[in-house]
Amino acid sequence: MFHWNLEKIRELEALPEAEAAERIRALRRSYGKEVCLLAHFYQRKAITELADFVGDSFGLSQSAAHFQGGKYIVFAGVRFMAESAAILCRPEQVVLHPDPEAGCPMADMASQEEVQRAWSVIAGGKPPIPVTYMNSTADIKAFCGEHGGTICTSSNAAKTFEWAFAQSDRIFFLPDEHLGRNTALKYGIDSEDIAVWDPQKPDGGEPERYADAKVILWRGYCPVHQKFTARDVDHVRTFYPKAKIVVHPECPTDVVQKADAVGSTDFIRKYVAASQPGDQIFIGTEINMIQTLQAQYPDRMVSKLHRSLCLTMYQITMGRLLYTLENLESFPRVEVPESVRHYSRVALDRMLSLQA
């Protein structure tokens, strides 16, 4: 049983950043290719600078599985990402998550029990195809795999809708209401044909609509992207009329509809990279990613639409990372039960076959 030495963690977290970085680098050198460090785009800059790969959750899991060596995958991100890496990695690899308490609030808005309850109501007659966003727990991914559904990312959501509508005339999308609605509208679904299942209400809130709705959305949201408003966009348009605004599709629909461009974290990164010196770009996503882009492109104005921090991503500190590396062999592994792994893998493989 691993003993979490909280005093030691606090001591490491109090180290100056440069010293912590140097100690992490020294440990990485001593482990060589045994350790693969992955960092999500939303991690603080000091961590992304140390990583072997920086990316979105799915891209990172794939990178880990293809990394030569890499027995230990240290995942600087939130829990569902570390779980996905544990599902996708090779059998000889293990995944370590520096802070197992760092979950994603949106993923945690859909529990297996809640989803089963909703399913028992909406799956009468011809069941919908369940589609879950990558930002969901392994249990929910497995639920979709077991019920003929799949997983989508913010980059392939529209393609996933196309696949799902070829199987059924209804989709059950979870856990992000905004991504689901933005994708459905982009796909051409009328807003009248979209219903919402609210897990806080015993009957889901719209019981008379579930039988006919083409898309049933889970009422979940990302607290980071939910904060952006249409007023933020109007404000930028007033004071920076030449600026371009790019936002993540987890933002509310009125924000997405007012933006110049919408896309995943990787899309946003490429959007900034393709801009020209002197351009003005306002971004609606997590602040750490924006700060990293600002440092990379000092010759253009890269700015935030609004300051929004993912608190649980921020729980991964340099001290926690150092603590993980110092205790590599005994540090608890991310475990996914076999039945959950099996059906999650079924759903993930369906998603991958769509990308092929």
Q: What is the DSSP letter of 52?
A: S
Give min distance, CB of 118 to ligand SF4, in A. Answer: 20
If we measure between CA atoms, which residue out of 206, 187, 179 comes closest to residue 195?
206
**114-135: buried (b, 16+ CB within 10 Å) or exposed (e) per residue?**
bbeebbeebeeeebbbbbbbbb
Residue with tokens 């989508």: 152
CB nearer ligand SF4, residue 135 or residue 137: 135
Q: Which CB, 63 or 312, lies closer to ligand SF4?
A: 312
Nearer to ligand SF4, 78 or 129 (CB): 78
Burial (CB < 10 A; 0-12, 13-18, 19+), residue 351, is buried
The minimum distance between CB 298 and ligand SF4, in angstroms, equals 25
Determine the Cα angle at 32 with ends 332 and 78, to 5°: 40
Q: For the CB of residue 229, give the shortest distance to ligand SF4 in the complex, in Å.
A: 16
Shortest Å distance, C-beta 88 to ligand SF4 = 18
The sign of the CA dihedral 246, 247, 249, 254 is negative
Output phi, psi for 89, to 5 deg: -75, 170
Residues of this chain that interact with ligand SF4 (CB under 6 A) are 42, 78, 104-106, 135, 222-224, 286, 310, 312-313
Of 99 and 286, CB closest to ligand SF4: 286
Output 173 or 210, the one with its CB closest to ligand SF4: 173
Shortest gap between Cβ of 347 and ligand SF4 (angstroms)?
18
Picking from 290, 283, 287, the residue whose alpha carbon sits closest to that of residue 305 is: 283
Q: CB of residue 342 vs ligand SF4: minimum separation in angstroms? A: 25
Q: Which two tokens stand for residue 185?
A: 């509208």
Q: Which two tokens stand for residue 302?
A: 């890269």
Nearer to ligand SF4, 106 or 247 (CB): 106
